[in-house]
Amino acid sequence: MVNLSVQLAPKNLQGLLLTNPVMTSAGTFGYGTEYSHTFDIQKLGAMVCKGTTLKPREGNPQPRLAETASGMLNSIGLQNIGVNALIKEKTPIWASWRLPVIVNIAGESVDDYAQMASQLDGVAGISGLEVNISCPNVAAGGAEFGANPDSAAEVTTKVRKATSLPVLVKLTPNTTDIAKVAVAVTEAGADAISLINTLKGMAIDLNKRKPLLGNITGGLSGPAIKPVALYMVYEVAGAVDIPVIGGGGITTASDALEFIMAGASAIQVGSASFTNPRAPLDVLEGIEQFMQKEGINNLTELIGSARR
Ligand SMILES: Cc1cc2nc3c(=O)[nH]c(=O)nc-3n(C[C@H](O)[C@H](O)[C@H](O)COP(=O)(O)O)c2cc1C
């Protein structure tokens, strides 16, 4: 038996102990219930639920998805049921699971994030918060909160004050120096960092001679972004002393192992679930097989091994 367990919030009183490093990423696995008929999702390390906002959102105009070479563009626009319905309808189900559930939160203002963090604090069925700072900051003319260290730190500080739950801050790749943002959110009290969110992109419909997505731009995900994500995980893991959760284009166990060797303590499987709903479990089983084959007893031996 190999030991796959990992502690993602060592500095937090509640901690965030996962039995294995495989997580699902926000917006690609619904609320978990949608996938429970495809495999035993309780075997995973943790689930991150759909991005949640203060008020329910209908999302962006259609079309909202486009296939690209080795990836996809999406402009869902955070369609979700809102934090009140999440607490009422989803958390009682999660409270009966052994799978830790992390709620991904998104806001238009710093106060949005803080209010959600305080509402979700102490609710049974929630093991942590993942703060999506890839959202436009309305007060700052729509620049992403995560694009600069100061606004990223401001959101983190407010969320940290509002909750005792482990706080994971999810970084955007749409910035010039991601390591600087990582250091700023670490100093502001993040327990762990996850990365990367989607890269901004677009596509044109030749027949209409217009942008293909209703929102004009969207987020690129899938295998196309893996080398970028891996590089950013490597950079960030070298810059901070808190756990890093890596993701972006992970489709197989080999992809996941690359992120772990680059310094990720855990990994997230996202778009891969759309083509193979069992992808997170396949990744987990593949990591286990690799460790058995290589005679590695503890996952910690692999974390950051490419850096040493
Ligand atoms: C359809 C779709 C919806 C997403 N929704 C969210 C979201 O609500 N919050 C968030 O932080 N990330 C969201 N993401 C980003 C993913 O969680 C992930 O960070 C990104 O897709 C890169 O990983 P991947 O290449 O494995 O998909 C979404 C991605 C997709 C494809």
Q: What is the pLDDT of residues 216-273, one digit of tens each?
A: 999 999 999 999 999 999 999 999 999 999 999 999 999 999 999 999 999 999 999 9
Ligand 1 atom with minimal separation from the 130 CA: 11
Q: What is the average pLDDT across 300-308?
A: 95
pTM above 0.95, yes or no: yes
List, for residues 18-38, the tens digit of each pLDDT value: 999 999 999 999 999 999 899
Residue 136 has pLDDT above 90, yes or no: no
pLDDT at position 48 is: 98
pLDDT per residue as tens digits for the range 178-202: 999 999 999 999 999 999 999 999 9
Ligand 1 atom 5: the closest Cα is on which residue?
27
pLDDT for the residue numbered 137: 85
Which pLDDT does position 1 carry in this prediction? 84
Percent above pLDDT 90 for the chain: 96
Question: Measured in angstroms, how far is the CA atom of residue 292 from the centroid of ligand 1?
Answer: 31
Q: Does the active-site annotation cover 49?
A: no
5 Cα: distance to centroid of ligand 1 (angstroms): 24
Predicted pLDDT at 112:
96
Per-residue pLDDT band for 101 (boundaries 50, 70, 90) equals: very high
**pLDDT, tens only, 45-55:** 999 999 999 99
Separation of CA 46 and ligand 1 centre (Å): 16
Going by pLDDT thresholds of 50, 70 and 90, the confidence category of residue 142 is confident
DSSP codes joined into one string, the chain:
--B--EES-TTSSS--EESSSEEEPTTSSTTSGGGTTTS-GGGSSEEE---B-SS-B--SPSP-EEEETTEEEE-----B--HHHIIIIIHHHHTT-SS-EEEEE--SSHHHHHHHHHHHTT-TT--EEEEE--SB-GGGTT-BGGGSHHHHHHHHHHHHHH-SS-EEEE--S-SS-HHHHHHHHHHTT-SEEEE--PEEE--EETTTTEESSTTS-EEEESGGGHHHHHHHHHHHHHH-SS-EEEESS--SHHHHHHHHHHT-SEEEE-THHHH-TTHHHHHHHHHHHHHHHHT--BGGGTTTGGG-
Q: Which atom of ligand 1 is nearest to the CA of 78?
A: 8
